[in-house]
Amino acid sequence: MTRFLTVSVLLAFTFFPFPGCAAPNTGDSLKSASADNQTKSWRCDTCCKQKDLIDLFFKGDNPFYPRKDKRFRFFAIPLIAYDPATSLQLGIGGSFSLQLGKAGDTKLSAGVASALYTLNQQFFIQYKGNIYFPHNKWFLQSDWRFYLFNLPTYSLSTNNQTEIPLVAGYKAVLIDPSLNGVYPMDYNWIRFYNVISRRLTPSINVGLGYHIDFHYNIQDENLLITNDTLYNTPHFAYSSLHGFNTGSYITSGLSANFIYDTRDDQVNAYRGVFVNVSYRYNATWLGSSRNSSTLWTEFRTYIPLSKRCPRHLLAFWLYGSFLVSGSLPYLDLMSISYDQMNSSGRGYAQGRYRGEDFVYGEMEYRFPISPHSHILGGVIFTNVTAASSRDMNIPLFGYFQPAAGVGLRIMVGKHDRTNIAIDFGIGNMSKGLYVQTQEVF
């Protein structure tokens, strides 16, 4: 009740004009041509400066943004959300922006962190950051996670199949039909990814990275082996076919990275292009359970739709993860919502679709809602996912899974464009509510 009351009050405030944003006196329009220009300017929805949530309660300089050149800003909120994979989530999440050099020649750094507990008895802590050092000479990307987790698992690919690859060595290999293709699993997970890049040009960085994923205490809840009879699961079948221990495994490797970035803002871009290409080699001499190599490709672009209002724009996001050689463990194969910011696949549960080769695309229309303050904004989005299963001979683009939805944006940091994002997405026999700080991409 309190949560919905708060949102209602917020909506009421944000639609009222702020002082100083009233329409000009058009009754005196014959005075000069400049008055006509002012009237035309007022019709532009950017005549009033961008406001944020703090401005509802503080006028002028407020304690959260005492000056425009403040180098570090942090915003934290209690998180209450729902996801099909986790049920109700309770915790705290926040985002920060950081200026490590002069604003004129150093891009704004940004990151998000959260600690959450769910009603499915899951607990996770995560931090994701993109840090630009003075003069943009060095760029650090980080993705750190600690999960005490349980998650339904499924067969690989995006065709909603219930079949599982056969495993030799058993008199009978069975599938429990009552599970309907859903196989619960408990596991712990530690991830530590860091990529450091050096600037070659104002828009191009190249660098090296180290990545490690450690899954342990894996418990495949519906796996059963009795008297040479196997009640099979996707994780057990894949792990057996590719030579992985079904209780724990490590993927540890080095990467070579290329980044092209012309975005005008790292937190919430209104224009520009972002390209990221990463080739990673995982080696047993670095601790990996098996040798493998992967290729990651990512493209984002932001297209303004109005010169007058930069918040009217189309945003596009496309990425692909491809297994080039060797074998990756089941839980390290690319999956929905396992990108750096855990933000892909709105409309589906985390981990719902997974494959050796994985491609994801998303388009989003972003627009302001409150006409004077611009505190409230909205999004309309659609996305599509494709994934392969080499063991089942299902090609990458054999099947597609689409989703779509709408979202609300609440501006909480006007200087670095930090939003609270609340989205509702609907997929194929799936739906979800998602809450986070900063934009999805």
pLDDT band with cut points at 50, 70 and 90 for residue 127: very high
| Structural domain that includes position 308 | 2-21+47-146+193-210+252-437
pLDDT at 351 over 80: yes
- Which of 225-229, 253-257, 321-325 is predicted with the least confidence, judged by mean pLDDT? 225-229
What pLDDT, in 10s, does the model give residues 286-322?
Answer: 999 999 999 999 999 999 998 888 889 999 999 999 9
Map tokens 């540890």 to a residue: 252
Per-residue model confidence (pLDDT) at position 418: 81
Q: Considering the domain boundaries, does residue 28 fall inside one?
A: no
At residue 349, the pLDDT reads: 86
What is the mean pLDDT of the segment spanning 105-122?
86
Q: What is the pLDDT of residue 18?
A: 39
- As given in the structure block, the two tokens for residue 96 are 């920060």
Domain membership flag for residue 159? no
CA-to-CA separations, 409 to 4, 53, 157, 371, 404, in angstroms, rounded? 16, 11, 33, 14, 17
Predicted confidence band of residue 38 (pLDDT cuts 50, 70, 90): very low
**Alpha helices, H only, 358-409:** none
The values of phi and psi at residue 319, to 5°, are: -140, 155
Residue 292, beta-bridge partner list = 282, 326
Q: Is 88 a domain residue?
A: yes
Q: List residues bridging with 355 in a β-sheet.
A: 334
Section 343-352 average pLDDT? 90
Flag whether 168 is in a domain: no
Q: What is the mean pLDDT of the chain?
A: 83
Does any domain span residue 37? no
Q: Return the minimum-mean-pLDDT range out of 313-317, 368-372, 406-410.
A: 368-372
359, part of any domain: yes
Quote the number of domains for the chain: 1
pLDDT at 315: 97
In 202-244, the DSSP E strands lie at 204-220, 224-226, 229-231
Q: Residues 381-390: pLDDT tens digits?
A: 999 999 999 9
> Is 33 within the bounds of a domain?
no
**For residue 272, what are the β-bridge partners?**
302
Q: Which phi-psi region, left, alpha or beta, contains residue 247 (left: φ > 0; alpha: ψ -120 to 50)?
A: alpha
DSSP state of 37: H
User: Binning pLDDT at 50, 70 and 90, where does residue 125 land?
Assistant: very high
46 against 219, higher pLDDT: 219
CA separation for the pair 134, 413 (Å, rounded): 23
Name the CA radius of gyration of the chain, rounded: 24
The answer to whether residue 392 is domain-embedded is yes
Determine contact, residues 261/224, Cβ cutoff 8 Å.
no
If you ran DSSP here, which 8-state letter would residue 306 be given? Answer: -
Here the CATH number for the domain that contains residue 199 is: 2.40.160
Q: How confident is the model at residue 346 (pLDDT cuts 50, 70, 90)?
A: very high
